[in-house]
């Protein structure tokens, strides 16, 4: 799974309708250009491709009366919304997703009902436990990595990673079950997008030809 697909769909959905630079600005506001492949070229390419795939609608906007260039605004379709939620659910459930995909899914998990988010994370715990068990069929952590030579360090890394992932996920579940955060249907959601014209303190400053298209 690609994080950029989820990030772009999620950003457009939160705006309702947004031009490409707004989407880019939001992703940089979230720091996604630092922890994912959400670079300007990737963002604009994803917008155009998903419009072709029917996940977004591209609206051509006439130039402003002040003489600005015409722009394309994107709006998410029903199919795009379904794809966005599918990606969030898959990323929250799967134990072996890359860090950027997991980070993107966590950013959008509050778009789900609280009970569903908890259920998905519990499924993730079960996946981690099953994977850990498959590793320990061939490697006994208590015996130390040296038991199978330096290759044992790989399995040792896997075990420690699985344990850390499980511990973090259990903590997240506990916080959600304890009432943390505002989930779908619970009231005013967290606002994670920039208003039109709002300055982005985390902008990369990199210019791209599609910024004003």
Query: Residues near 99 by Cβ (< 8 Å), separated by ≥ 6?
Result: 35
What token pair was written down for 193?
A: 């997008």
In a domain, residue 195? The reply is yes
What token pair was written down for 209?
A: 């030809």
In a domain, residue 34? The reply is yes
Q: pLDDT digits over 6-64, tens only?
A: 999 999 998 888 888 888 888 888 888 788 888 888 999 999 999 999 999 999 876 65
168 pLDDT above the threshold of 90:
yes
In a domain, residue 166? The reply is no
CATH number of the domain bearing residue 50: 1.10.10.10
Residues forming beta bridges with residue 73, ordered by sequence position: 19, 59
Sheet hosting strand 56-61, strand order edge to edge: 18-19, 71-76, 56-61
In a domain, residue 82? The reply is no
CA distance 56 to 62: 19
Contact 104, 91 (CB under 8 A): yes
In a domain, residue 165? The reply is no
CA distance 154 to 13: 40
- Using 50, 70 and 90 to split pLDDT, how confident is the model at 171? very high
In a domain, residue 125? The reply is no
What token pair was written down for 9?
A: 């769909």
Angle at the Cα of 74 from the Cα atoms of 73 and 75, rounded to 5 degrees: 130
Q: Which residue range(s) make up the domain with 54? A: 1-77+188-205
Chain centroid, CA 107 distance in Å: 6
Residue 60, φ and ψ in degrees, nearest 5: -80, 120
205 pLDDT above the threshold of 60:
no
In a domain, residue 44? The reply is yes
End-to-end Cα separation, the chain, in angstroms: 28
DSSP-derived 3-state class of residue 138: coil
In a domain, residue 21? The reply is yes
Q: pLDDT digits over 26-37, tens only?
A: 888 888 878 888
Number of domains in the chain: 1
């Amino acid at each position: 799974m690609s994080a950029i697909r989820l990030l772009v769909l999620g950003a457009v959905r939160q705006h309702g309708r947004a031009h490409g630079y707004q989407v880019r600005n939001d992703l940089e506001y979230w720091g996604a250009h630092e922890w994912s492949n959400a670079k300007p070229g990737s963002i604009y390419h994803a917008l155009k491709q998903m419009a072709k795939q029917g996940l977004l609608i591209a609206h051509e906007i006439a130039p402003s009366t002040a003489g600005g260039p015409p722009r394309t605004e994107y709006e998410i379709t029903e199919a795009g919304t379904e794809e966005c939620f599918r990606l969030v659910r898959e990323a929250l459930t799967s134990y072996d997703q890359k860090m950027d995909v997991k980070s993107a899914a966590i950013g959008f998990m509050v778009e789900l009902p609280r009970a569903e988010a908890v259920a998905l994370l519990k499924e993730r715990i079960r996946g981690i436990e099953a994977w850990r068990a498959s590793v320990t069929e061939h490697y006994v952590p208590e015996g130390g990595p040296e038991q199978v030579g330096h290759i044992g360090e790989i399995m040792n890394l896997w075990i420690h990673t699985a344990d850390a992932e499980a511990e973090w996920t259990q903590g997240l579940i506990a916080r959600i079950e304890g009432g943390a955060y505002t989930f779908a249907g619970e009231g005013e959601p967290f606002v994670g997008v920039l208003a039109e014209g709002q300055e982005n303190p985390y902008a990369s400053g990199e210019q791209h030809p599609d910024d004003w298209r």
